[in-house]
């Protein structure tokens, strides 16, 4: 069994992606004008492929919240010694749309998975209930900790 697990939590915030694409555009524009300095901006296309996530090393009992691509992941390892349990919570939000006489309410429900340490909680994943339960079972088995399911 693999002793490491990666959980992707999302992409970089939109403002970083926009800055990256603008700088790529500046680089291409500079190259069109014949300025070789534009080559410096081209590698910024990698920013659009960056993701944020959590990497758990079960062999060494540590966790890293990272930002990066497939091979380069920037983050700091933290010890998860003394992990007490995994906690699953239900969260939902509603949004109401009103246009003239038509009203629509949309409700989205998700589940969140938290790793409880003696001094804090770390959110590992927010997704649909089935996916959260599947990940929680794998992590709990590898860390030998119980699952507290507060998600009816």
Taking residues 116-135, report their average pLDDT.
Answer: 88
Q: Where are the domains of the chain?
A: 4-79, 85-150
Residue 5: predicted pLDDT? 78
Check pLDDT > 60 for residue 1: no
pTM, entire model: 0.69
Residue 48: predicted pLDDT? 67
Measured CA to CA in angstroms, residue 112 lies from 45, 63, 136 at distances of 32, 17, 10
């Amino acid at each position: 069994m693999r002793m490491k697990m990666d959980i992707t939590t999302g992409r970089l915030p939109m403002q970083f992606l926009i800055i990256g694409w603008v700088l790529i555009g500046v680089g291409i524009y500079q190259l069109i004008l014949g300025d070789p300095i534009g080559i410096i901006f081209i590698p910024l296309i990698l920013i659009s492929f960056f993701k944020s996530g959590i990497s758990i090393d079960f062999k060494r009992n540590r966790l890293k919240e990272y930002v990066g691509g497939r091979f380069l992941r920037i983050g700091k390892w933290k010890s998860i010694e003394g992990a007490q349990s995994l906690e699953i919570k239900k969260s939902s939000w509603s949004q109401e749309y009103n246009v003239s006489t038509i009203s629509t309410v949309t409700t989205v429900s998700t589940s969140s998975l938290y790793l409880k340490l003696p001094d804090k909680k770390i959110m590992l994943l927010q997704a649909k209930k089935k996916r959260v339960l599947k990940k929680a079972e794998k992590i709990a088995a590898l860390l030998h900790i119980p699952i507290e399911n507060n998600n009816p």
